[in-house]
Amino acid sequence: MEETTEALLAGPRARRLLAELIEIRQVDGWSVTAMSSLPTDRTELARRVRARAAERAAPLAALTAVDPRVLAAIDAATVMNMPWQPPDENDQLLADPAIVAALRPAAEALAAAEMTRGWHAPLAVGKQRLTLFDLPDWEGVPPAADRPLEVTGLDAWGAAWRRAVAGSAWNRVDWTTPVDEHSSGPWWSAPIGPWWNGEEPRRPGGAPVTTPPLNPETDHLVGSAGLVWLEDSPGADEALLVPVSPSRPPRIYEVTGPEAWAALVRHFPADVSASRRSDWYRHTGRDGAWAVPDWAAVRESYDAVHVTVAGYLTTAGLAVEVGDGVATVLAGWAPEATAWLTDVLVEDGPRERWRLDRTVRRDADHGWRLETENDGQPGRDRRVRRG
Per-residue pLDDT of 99-113, as tens digits, reads 999 999 999 999 999
Per-residue pLDDT of 239-250, as tens digits, reads 999 999 999 999
Picking from 101, 109, 89, the residue whose alpha carbon sits closest to that of residue 45 is 101
Please check whether residue 82 is in contact with residue 57, taking contact to mean a CB–CB distance below 8 angstroms. no
Per the structure, the complete domain to which residue 224 belongs is given by 125-346
**pLDDT class for 142, splitting at 50, 70, 90?**
low
- Report whether pLDDT(283) > 70: yes
Rg (CA), the chain: 21
Q: Under the phi-then-psi rule, with left for phi > 0, alpha for psi from -120 to 50, and beta for the rest, what region is 317?
A: left
Please check whether residue 225 is in contact with residue 211, taking contact to mean a CB–CB distance below 8 angstroms. yes
Neighbours of 226 (CB within 10 A): 26
Same domain, 188 and 240: yes
Q: Which residue did the predictor score with more confidence, 24 or 133?
A: 24
**pLDDT class for 364, splitting at 50, 70, 90?**
low
Query: Measured between alpha carbons, how far is residue 153 from residues 97, 138, 145, 272, 340 in Å?
Result: 48, 21, 21, 24, 12
Residue 75: partners with Cβ closer than 8 Å, 6 or more residues away:
228, 229, 366
- Report whether pLDDT(66) > 90: no
Q: What is the mean pLDDT of the chain?
A: 87
Is 370 a member of any domain? no
Rounded to whole angstroms, how far apart are CA atoms 104 and 107? 5
Picking from 249, 248, 266, 251, the residue whose alpha carbon sits closest to that of residue 302 is 251
- Report whether pLDDT(263) > 70: yes
What is the average pLDDT across 23-29?
97
Query: Which pLDDT does position 365 carry in this prediction?
Result: 64
Same domain, 95 and 139: no
- Report whether pLDDT(145) > 80: no
User: Percentage of the chain with pLDDT > 70?
Assistant: 86
Query: Measured between alpha carbons, how far is residue 101 from residues 116, 146, 318 in Å?
Result: 21, 52, 18
Q: Given the DSSP bridges, would you call strands 352-356 and 238-246 parallel, antiparallel or unpaired?
A: antiparallel
Is 277 a member of any domain? yes
Query: Which pLDDT does position 235 carry in this prediction?
Result: 82
Q: How far is CA 337 from its chain centroid?
A: 7
- Report whether pLDDT(93) > 50: yes
**pLDDT class for 377, splitting at 50, 70, 90?**
very low
What's the number of domains the chain is made of?
2
Same domain, 201 and 330: yes
Query: Which pLDDT does position 379 carry in this prediction?
Result: 40
Single residue among 70, 99, 120 that ends a domain in this structure: 120
Name the least confident of 75-89, 320-334, 354-368. 354-368
Same domain, 287 and 146: yes
Same domain, 62 and 136: no
Query: Measured between alpha carbons, how far is residue 209 from residues 112, 198, 233, 324, 325 in Å?
Result: 31, 22, 14, 31, 31
Is 359 a member of any domain? no
Same domain, 222 and 146: yes
Is 356 a member of any domain? no
Query: Which pLDDT does position 37 carry in this prediction?
Result: 83
Is 367 a member of any domain? no
Same domain, 66 and 149: no
Same domain, 239 and 272: yes
User: Percentage of the chain with pLDDT > 90?
Assistant: 64
Is 364 a member of any domain? no
Same domain, 169 and 269: yes
What is the average pLDDT across 148-169?
80
Single residue among 120, 147, 174 that ends a domain in this structure: 120
Query: Which pLDDT does position 155 carry in this prediction?
Result: 93
Q: Which residue did the predictor score with more confidence, 162 or 291?
A: 291
Query: Which pLDDT does position 218 carry in this prediction?
Result: 65
Is 373 a member of any domain? no
Same domain, 85 and 138: no
Single residue among 120, 137, 170 that ends a domain in this structure: 120
Name the least confident of 115-124, 321-330, 331-340. 115-124
Same domain, 116 and 129: no
- Report whether pLDDT(75) > 50: yes
Query: Measured between alpha carbons, how far is residue 179 from residues 82, 270, 276 in Å?
Result: 18, 20, 10
Same domain, 320 and 247: yes
Query: Which pLDDT does position 292 carry in this prediction?
Result: 95
- Report whether pLDDT(82) > 80: yes
- Report whether pLDDT(387) > 70: no
Is 352 a member of any domain? no
